[in-house]
Amino acid sequence: MKIVFTKMEGCGNDYVYINGAEVKIEKELKPDLVRFLSDRHFGIGSDGVIFINPAENADFEMEMWNADGTRAQMCGNGMRSVAKYVYDKHLTDKKDLKIVSYGSIKDVTVYDKNGKADLIKVNMGAPILDSKAIPVISSSETVVDELLCTDDKDYHITCVSMGNPHAVIFMDPDSIDIEKTGPVIENHSRFPERVNTEFVKVTDRSNINMRVWERGTGETLACGTGCCASVVACILNGLTDDKVTVHVRGGDIIVEWDRASDTVYMTGPARIVFEGEIEYDQDKQELS
């Protein structure tokens, strides 16, 4: 089976994008296919795979998969890249788009430069702070600066969902062994659906530095929903103003929490890296 793909990245958060209207993949094949395509040694290499599908109640659907072959609800960097893909490839001439992911519709604005999408702004909606809805196990309705105990170290977490669960920890991101700490927190018993973890250092009221460990993927160079969750956590803890530039390892993302409307906006770039086609042999993959 030959699969036509586009490799894209948003601040280094890279995914393989497949036009679901042209490339038909059976549902039961997708987990194995995603693991193969995401493999950085034997496949294309990515943080996961995103299928761009037709949608009945929106302009397009973003069907997102983690690198380990599990479905994911939301990805801010992925959402921006989907908007650039459909705009640059003339699948739409709209600059104001509605894109649905896992049943949730997001409003996306494309800022054009020389006929191509330059910056993309995503209305990420209201942050979810209710502990049961995130979900995180807690005796409190919200988890703000709450103790999380692990076998070797205790952390203070602030939990937010931006369509997927996040635990934000305020500490120097460069001081941790993220390959060791990330999986411990991701799979902690207090997170029934696992969790994305952000390690954040506040530099001033308008700037923060962040590293992120994404569930099902590992460390990524950026995470759009993680940037949003981190800024919300900063504001809840009184550490920043409402508009913040988040400096991640792959670049900068601007996040604003309009508390009057309880809406989080995320603005950042997206880029097409390369395009091609790859041969996928299901039988061979099953034997390997």
Residue 288 pLDDT exceeds 80: no
Residues 112 and 176 in one domain: no
Residue 177's nearest CA partner among 196, 159, 199 is 199
From the list 11, 75, 159, 227, the catalytic residue is 75
| Set 11, 159, 223, 227: catalytic member | 223
* Average predicted confidence (pLDDT) for the chain: 96
Q: Do residues 198 and 226 make contact, with C-beta atoms less than 8 angstroms apart?
A: yes
3-state secondary structure of 170: strand
pLDDT at 178: 97
* Claim to verify: residue 114 and residue 6 sit in the same structural domain: yes
Instruction: Judge whether 23 and 63 are in contact, CB under 8 Å.
Output: no
Would residue 11 show up in a list of annotated catalytic residues for this protein? no
**DSSP structure string for 54-85:** --SSSSEEEEEEETTS-B-S--HHHHHHHHHH
Say yes or no: 91 and 159 in one domain. Answer: no
For residue 141, being part of any structural domain is answered with no
Judgement on whether residues 108 and 166 belong to the same structural domain of the protein = no
Number of domains in the chain: 2
The pair of structure tokens assigned to 116 is 């191509």
Across the range 234-262, mean pLDDT stands at 98
Give which of 225, 201, 33, 45 is closest to 122, Cα–Cα: 225
Residue 127 DSSP symbol: P
Place of tokens 């993959």: 285
Indicate which CATH number applies to the domain containing 27: 3.10.310.10
pLDDT, mean of residues 162-189: 97
pLDDT (tens digit, 9 = 90+) per residue, 15-44? 999 999 999 999 999 999 999 999 999 999
- Residue 24 placed within a domain: yes
pLDDT in tens, 136-171: 999 999 999 999 999 989 999 999 999 999 999 999
| 22 lies in the same domain as 115 | yes
What is the residue type of 223? C
| 10 and 110 both lie in a single domain | yes
Residue 242 placed within a domain: yes
Domain identity same for 254 and 166: yes
- CA angle in degrees (0–180, nearest 5) for 259-111-242: 20
Q: Let me know whether 49 and 103 are in one domain.
A: yes
> Residue 52 belongs to what domain range?
2-123+270-287
